[in-house]
Structure 1
């Protein structure tokens, strides 16, 4: 079934159940198995429990079923003698990933929104612009790309380049808010765009932000729609409505950059080589075989990705171009891998979230490995009311977390009036007991690695085939960019990680008898 159709069905079903009432048949209106109290009853406290849902992916995403794999295992040769990706077995949780790289038209949509909503803030717009000067080369005539690549319609479906790691993260934050805002407005939880545009001067002055909305700070006249969920709290008016909560289960998780482990796992696409839990053949590239040409009869000999075949050979000979790409190609080009992802090898390298360390493989968790955690809290403007402080763009202000775990009430009260800069130290997530020695004054002199060095992977239109191997890794400073580096987004999957269940044996589940008593489960292998 088409994933977009499935997504629409799941969202539509949820709204019908959550907003228009539920029958006993679907489980809503049932009682707590621990207290016996009825859910969704305005007379006993109004505790609301919506039907358990498995949310679908956000726009542009496909599901990647997680599992175990050998990270670095596809690297058969270390041509650069880097020795920085030794083999280790890890497990990656199920998640979502963009089907394609973020394209120029996607970025232009982002720039347009910034200009429309903050027309006087030229600094905001300027800082979001990709560096189109990455195309300049003293010994190449690439100047036409400087003016045309980002904005000309001929390149609108090509991957955006010249984007820093920091800009990519800002885009993820913006995309999260726009997707969740669209969901709320489309369903009438917030007023629709037409009414919002015609009722100028009313409602929130700042744009929608998911965290601010979930904290109850984005509502009121000119904001609230007619289809908000019913408020079942005692004392609430009969027709009282409330904002959507995270517990309602349909707002999307934040878009973000994938971790290095997620990216490598998704690029390999070993699901296509797995039978009954056994991986029957490993890969060097995101496709089967040891070569870069198609072995299928109808496409035999065709190049499988956009890369540089050799010195001075970016696309082959006239009349029969090898990969048909001089620079980048449209984001939907060649064949997708077995997860349905396009261009996980070649076209452009892609940013991932991790901080680069040459010896990453020595210190890692084997479940969802990631290097670069910086824990933050949302700053409170009003601790008594739990109101978040907002910046001038309507986003919550973040501050370094002071502790790794929930603090006692006394500790929290003692820090409410203290700031990190006033003697309160942020929590250090370095579990090894010491910090990596970093001396910024030596950067560029004795080392090229510091805490702003970020990993990128995948190979590009101007790279040799070696870099198409998903295990290869390089790094660049997070505020730098290149004509060969773009990105795609990922999203955390919540709930059941199992996606592909066809043909798998199952244990029989326990059945619930009348009266709420649970029958004895029969374990049948």
Structure 2
């Protein structure tokens, strides 16, 4: 009798579950059913909190004092004045980008553009950064990047511009791999079987015979025979035409941003994000109270481990004193002479390795001495260059692309949404004229700045009728670029790097310290790691914490 009762309860429970699952969601404002082909196919996507991309760990944001960990200013720069700010939650690389990671990048360029020697050459790190006139570093020039003994060591000799290119490449390769592994595009295996190789290019003749690009894919410009996978989403739009790819000949569609499948773009972290992540004060926080501050990414005022098993060991790879890069033979203090493998030493409380020492790291910000005083207090950043994607066919909404399959981006021409007629007229003018770009000028005084990236600061939009500056890297700054090299080395190409390196004294291990270098320069002491924006709720670990209840909307019933 008890068995029958239990069985009945199970069947009843399954029936309730199935009946509840069969009920489609409704619009809270119109009562129309979502995801129903018969009423027009209004879509409601499953609400998800995306997971980080490969190599990233989540960093729960919050408020902290930018520049607050600095205990001295030995350079008398006065460039890290304390300022309370809020950093939103984001993702960050667990480790620095390694030589193996960069060799993957070079290999992809070599197999995808085998005849483009310029592209490959421009992506090569400058291994001559190891060369010194009075030091025998020539073996590092030849071996550091490519020898397998150094494959897990951080890549160096990379400029800020090269780091940006790597971030874009990593975004596209990650998203392409997701789409192919899940069958939304032709799988790697099927693709290699058709063309005899695994090169990441689409089938010719489809209008998308260039390497995969996330923006192009989301704009519907990468699809067709030989590209579309077997697991594409059904297209519920009644106007959609069947392509033969879907089951039973039904219409299918590519993945959209709303599906939550694709990852946000990899990028360099902002200076505030980097400093916040390096400090990792979340490990010292309880009930919104920070129990103890930090001078370094670890607790305590020293650079040696206080733990019994590792007592006295150096906690980072840095230069202990003049002429002391490694310590004494038989008892090397930090176990490294130059750089060390990217997973050396203990991670900080966010799980990030080498946020002090090993190599300095590029961040996204343009350097200004007064940035900490002037930036916004939410998600502070200095270096905005606003752009729009150029249209090849404004009527069809197709992006113009360069020879590498990436959308061409032009300086933004307005700070507001234009009317449709204005937008079409502007895009047609750009498409017809190729958008010949004026040389960049300093937004404070109009002085020409040679060699700067494409931007049109201070241009007057003929349609919007008001002056609009697309380049805000030097916002509210009175530095005159005509004085560059005479009274200052700071201009809009000066980029911040932080963290200290194998060849730096302990002072530079403090997360608040900051230095700068031109964006096309490199060093044997500077590498980088990537970050990614987090979308959705900022709380990383809600479990075990009190929450106010949130009620679901009641379904609408017509009467």
Please report the TM-score for the alignment, with normalisation by the length of structure 2: 0.85
C-alpha contact (below 8 Å) 1:315/1:322 kept by paired residues: yes
Helix, strand or coil at the partner of 1:421: coil
Corresponding residue number in structure 1 for 2:230: 226
User: More displaced, 495-504 or 58-67?
Assistant: 495-504
C-alpha contact (below 8 Å) 1:260/1:370 kept by paired residues: yes
List aligned pairs for 1:380-395, cutoff 5 A. 380-395=391-406
Deviation at 1:510, TM superposition (A): 2.5
List aligned pairs for 1:187-226, cutoff 5 A. 187-200=182-195, 202=204, 204-226=208-230
Helix, strand or coil at the partner of 1:410: helix
Tell me the distance in 2 between the aligned counterparts of 1:41 and 1:117: 42
Alignment partner of 1:448 out of 489, 498, 501: 489
Deviation at 1:50, TM superposition (A): 1.9
Partner deviation per Cα, 1:417-454 (whole Å, 9 max, x = no partner): 33453786473157899763455453222211000000
Alignment partner of 2:436 out of 418, 421, 430: 421
**Does residue 294 of structure 2 align to residue 283 of structure 1?**
yes
Gaps of at least 5 residues in structure 1 are 1-21, 518-525
Helix, strand or coil at the partner of 2:253: coil
Corresponding residue number in structure 2 for 1:50: 45
Alignment partner of 2:422 out of 408, 411, 423: 411
Tell me the distance in 2 between the aligned counterparts of 1:434 and 1:328: 36
Tell me the distance in 2 between the aligned counterparts of 1:218 and 1:399: 22
C-alpha contact (below 8 Å) 1:389/1:397 kept by paired residues: yes
In structure 2, relative to structure 1, the CA distance for the partners of 1:152 and 1:516 (3 Å cut) is: farther
**Does residue 330 of structure 2 align to residue 315 of structure 1?**
no
User: More displaced, 131-140 or 412-421?
Assistant: 412-421
Deviation at 1:323, TM superposition (A): 0.2
Tell me the distance in 1 between the aligned counterparts of 2:502 and 2:330: 20
Tell me the distance in 1 between the aligned counterparts of 2:481 and 2:31: 61
Alignment partner of 1:361 out of 351, 366, 372: 372
Alignment partner of 2:355 out of 331, 335, 344: 344
In structure 2, relative to structure 1, the CA distance for the partners of 1:24 and 1:240 (3 Å cut) is: farther
Corresponding residue number in structure 2 for 1:251: 262
Helix, strand or coil at the partner of 2:517: strand
Helix, strand or coil at the partner of 2:115: coil
Corresponding residue number in structure 1 for 2:548: 507
C-alpha contact (below 8 Å) 2:383/2:473 kept by paired residues: no
Corresponding residue number in structure 1 for 2:14: none
Find the structure with the greater CA-based Rg: 2
C-alpha contact (below 8 Å) 2:384/2:473 kept by paired residues: no
C-alpha contact (below 8 Å) 1:28/1:50 kept by paired residues: no
Deviation at 1:398, TM superposition (A): 0.4
Corresponding residue number in structure 2 for 1:109: 104
List aligned pairs for 1:20-39, cutoff 5 A. 25=20, 29-39=24-34
In structure 2, relative to structure 1, the CA distance for the partners of 1:206 and 1:30 (3 Å cut) is: same
Partner deviation per Cα, 1:359-382 (whole Å, 9 max, x = no partner): 112211000000000000000000
Helix, strand or coil at the partner of 2:429: coil
C-alpha contact (below 8 Å) 2:346/2:353 kept by paired residues: yes
Tell me the distance in 2 between the aligned counterparts of 1:510 and 1:405: 36
Deviation at 1:187, TM superposition (A): 0.6
Deviation at 1:47, TM superposition (A): 1.6
Deviation at 1:411, TM superposition (A): 2.2
Tell me the distance in 2 between the aligned counterparts of 1:490 and 1:456: 15
Deviation at 1:193, TM superposition (A): 1.7
C-alpha contact (below 8 Å) 1:260/1:353 kept by paired residues: yes
Alignment partner of 2:413 out of 402, 405, 412: 402
Deviation at 1:23, TM superposition (A): 6.9
Partner deviation per Cα, 1:108-162 (whole Å, 9 max, x = no partner): 0000000100011000000000000000011111000000000000000000000
Tell me the distance in 2 between the aligned counterparts of 1:268 and 1:117: 40
Deviation at 1:194, TM superposition (A): 2.4
Deviation at 1:28, TM superposition (A): 7.9
Alignment partner of 2:95 out of 100, 103, 115: 100
Runs of 4+ in 1 over 6 A off after TM superposition: 430-434
Alignment partner of 2:503 out of 462, 465, 478: 462
Tell me the distance in 2 between the aligned counterparts of 1:32 and 1:447: 59
Tell me the distance in 1 between the aligned counterparts of 2:325 and 2:133: 19
C-alpha contact (below 8 Å) 1:23/1:29 kept by paired residues: no
**Does residue 161 of structure 2 align to residue 166 of structure 1?**
yes
Alignment partner of 1:326 out of 337, 348, 357: 337
Tell me the distance in 1 between the aligned counterparts of 2:127 and 2:474: 42
Partner deviation per Cα, 1:227-247 (whole Å, 9 max, x = no partner): 000011114445111111111
Gaps of at least 5 residues in structure 2 are 1-16, 196-202, 243-248, 439-458, 462-467
Corresponding residue number in structure 2 for 1:520: none
In structure 2, relative to structure 1, the CA distance for the partners of 1:191 and 1:24 (3 Å cut) is: farther
Tell me the distance in 2 between the aligned counterparts of 1:489 and 1:433: 24
